[in-house]
């Protein structure tokens, strides 16, 4: 298992994480087997969005004696009413839900307290002004949560939260179909078939700006919906062709600021399939080649950081240079952190001899040589 820094939190998290979808199977009976498999394979990050007493209690049982081996991302603002989940912003209910969470998990703290389901800028304003954010800050001050996070499907809402400076972790839906769609306050738009009926080209600029802003500010992204709820693995996917789990995971992990992909596995077999990503060859992870065959989706002139441009005869990590260049372009300035990361590269854009070999290999027709020249102008070497 490989590990990544979760933004600036100081936490090191497994590239493959766990969602909680499987914890409710057979009334919670599969939870221990899923946690056992995760533990054996170095998966150390778990997301728990559900307020179901069965899920919370079964996870608490499974974590007994090994709580500190896992980094737990659990959601505020979710409660259980009349046998079903309910999202709430009412502070007494939020507090009730959090106390129930700690009790059922038999723990005294949550590593990442995730403010649940913020899908409009107006909703974030309610969080800021209505006391929920203050409550999260209070929990952090008391040591009951380690870091404050937000979950969202809307890049504009997520940007508002991230740019507030209060959020350290963002849980966001990341995959090559959703990334093409403009922001919406209705997450159902992400999987509505008619939205993919006509040809779509290139990543939505708000989503691109979100990823790059998170990287600049040190906000770690934990990925949900990497497989689009399974839709992307089907021949009837929005792209018009099936992707593999390895391709979906690789795509998500290549986005700026992404630390872990949460596998919503319903069974041990599904979780093992995601864990097996770590042993796959580069050819199996190659989403770029698959993208070229999509009948309804295309990426033109946009660096996807896929690495097809390699190898460079001068040893330049072209994908890394492009990522730092795009981060600076998005901010229309040169942030210190971007400058320092660029400076740490062993070979710089100034080493480019304009041979053009990278451009012949790029699946997306990126003008790499011109971008290297722009990088030299921006970074000075």
Claim to verify: residue 227 and residue 97 sit in the same structural domain = yes
Higher pLDDT, 112 or 240: 112
- Angle among Cα 214, 217, 222 to the nearest 5 degrees reads 35
- Tally the C-alpha atoms within 13 A of residue 46's C-alpha that lie toward its C-beta: 30
- Does residue 220 lie in a domain region? yes
At 168 the pLDDT is: 98
Claim to verify: residue 351 and residue 213 sit in the same structural domain = no
- Does residue 375 lie in a domain region? yes
Reported as a pLDDT band with limits 50, 70 and 90, residue 335 is: confident
The overall average pLDDT reported for the chain is: 89
At 327 the pLDDT is: 79
Reported as a pLDDT band with limits 50, 70 and 90, residue 134 is: very high
Claim to verify: residue 138 and residue 254 sit in the same structural domain = yes
How do residues 279-315 score in pLDDT, each as one tens digit? 999 889 988 877 777 666 666 777 878 788 888 999 9
What residues contact 378, with CB distance under 8 A and at least 6 apart? Answer: 325, 328, 334
Domain total for the chain? 2
Domain final residue pick, 249, 276, 291: 291
Claim to verify: residue 366 and residue 287 sit in the same structural domain = no
Claim to verify: residue 333 and residue 268 sit in the same structural domain = no
How do residues 352-361 score in pLDDT, each as one tens digit? 999 999 998 8
Claim to verify: residue 75 and residue 207 sit in the same structural domain = yes
What residues contact 172, with CB distance under 8 A and at least 6 apart? Answer: 151, 152, 153, 155, 158, 210, 221, 222, 223, 224
Claim to verify: residue 121 and residue 39 sit in the same structural domain = yes
The encoded tokens of residue 350 equal 């100034």
CATH number for 62: 3.20.20.100
What residues contact 227, with CB distance under 8 A and at least 6 apart? Answer: 175, 233, 245, 248, 264
At 300 the pLDDT is: 72
**Which residue do the tokens 């998005």 mark?**
330
At 202 the pLDDT is: 66
The encoded tokens of residue 178 equal 């959703």
Q: pTM for the whole thing?
A: 0.82
pLDDT average, residue stretch 37-45? 98
The Cα–Cα gap between 89 and 62 comes to 29
The Cα–Cα gap between 128 and 109 comes to 23
- Does residue 303 lie in a domain region? no
Cis? peptide before 2, omega within 30° of 0 = no
- Cα dist from 249 to 159, 228, 324, 380, whole Å: 23, 11, 22, 35
Claim to verify: residue 237 and residue 329 sit in the same structural domain = no
DSSP 3-state of 172? strand
The encoded tokens of residue 164 equal 């507030």
How do residues 42-94 score in pLDDT, each as one tens digit? 999 999 998 899 999 999 999 999 999 999 999 999 999 888 888 899 999 99
Q: Which helix (DSSP H) or strand (DSSP E) does residue 269 occupy? A: helix 268-275
The Cα–Cα gap between 319 and 61 comes to 44
Is pLDDT at 211 greater than 80 in this prediction?
Answer: yes
Reported as a pLDDT band with limits 50, 70 and 90, residue 194 is: low
Domain final residue pick, 256, 272, 291: 291
Claim to verify: residue 273 and residue 203 sit in the same structural domain = yes
Domain final residue pick, 291, 306, 340: 291
Backbone torsions φ then ψ of 18, nearest 5 degrees: -125, 130
- Does residue 311 lie in a domain region? no
**What is the domain range of residue 343?**
318-379
How do residues 137-193 score in pLDDT, each as one tens digit? 999 999 999 999 999 999 999 999 999 999 999 999 998 888 877 777 777 677 666
Is pLDDT at 272 greater than 70 in this prediction?
Answer: yes
What residues contact 323, with CB distance under 8 A and at least 6 apart? Answer: 215, 256, 303, 305
Claim to verify: residue 211 and residue 335 sit in the same structural domain = no
- Does residue 310 lie in a domain region? no
Claim to verify: residue 332 and residue 195 sit in the same structural domain = no
- Does residue 300 lie in a domain region? no
Claim to verify: residue 232 and residue 352 sit in the same structural domain = no
The Cα–Cα gap between 301 and 299 comes to 7
- Does residue 8 lie in a domain region? yes
- Does residue 304 lie in a domain region? no
Contact 22, 30 (CB under 8 A): yes
**Which residue do the tokens 């990543």 mark?**
203
């Amino acid at each position: 298992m490989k590990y990544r820094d979760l933004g600036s939190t100081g936490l090191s998290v497994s590239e493959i994480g766990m969602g909680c979808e499987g914890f409710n199977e057979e009334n919670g009976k599969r939870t221990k087997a899923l946690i056992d498999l995760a533990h054996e394979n170095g998966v150390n990050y778990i997301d728990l969005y559900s307020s179901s007493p069965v899920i919370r209690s079964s996870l608490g049982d499974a974590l007994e004696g090994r709580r500190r081996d896992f980094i737990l991302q659990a959601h505020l603002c979710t409660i259980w009413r009349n046998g079903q989940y309910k999202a709430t912003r009412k502070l007494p209910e939020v507090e009730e839900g959090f106390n129930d969470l700690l009790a059922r998990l038999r723990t005294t703290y949550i590593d990442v307290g995730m403010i649940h389901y913020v899908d409009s800028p107006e909703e974030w304003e309610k969080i800021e002004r209505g006391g929920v954010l203050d409550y999260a800050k209070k929990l952090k001050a008391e040591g009951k949560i380690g870091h404050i996070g937000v979950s969202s499907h809307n890049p504009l809402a997520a940007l508002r939260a991230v740019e507030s400076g209060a959020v350290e972790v963002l849980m966001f839906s990341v995959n090559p179909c959703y990334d093409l769609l403009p922001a919406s306050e209705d997450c159902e738009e992400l999987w509505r078939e008619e939205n993919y009926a006509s040809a779509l080209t290139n990543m939505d600029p708000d989503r691109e700006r979100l990823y790059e802003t998170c990287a600049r500010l040190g906000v770690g992204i934990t990925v949900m919906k990497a497989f689009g709820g399974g839709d992307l693995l089907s021949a009837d996917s929005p792209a018009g062709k099936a992707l593999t789990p390895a391709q979906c995971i690789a795509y998500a992990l290549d986005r700026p600021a992404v630390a872990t992909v949460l596998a919503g596995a319903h069974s041990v077999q599904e979780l093992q399939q995601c864990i097996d990503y770590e042993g796959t060859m580069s050819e199996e992870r190659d989403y770029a080649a698959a993208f070229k065959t999509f009948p309804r989706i295309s990426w033109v002139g946009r660096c996807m950081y896929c690495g097809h441009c390699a190898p460079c005869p001068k040893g330049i990590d072209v994908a890394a240079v492009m990522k730092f260049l795009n981060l600076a372009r998005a901010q229309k300035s040169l942030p210190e952190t971007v400058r320092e990361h660029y400076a740490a590269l062993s070979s710089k854009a100034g080493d480019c001899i304009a041979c053009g070999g990278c451009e012949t290999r790029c699946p997306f027709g990126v003008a790499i040589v011109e971008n290297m020249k722009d990088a030299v102008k921006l970074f000075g070497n």
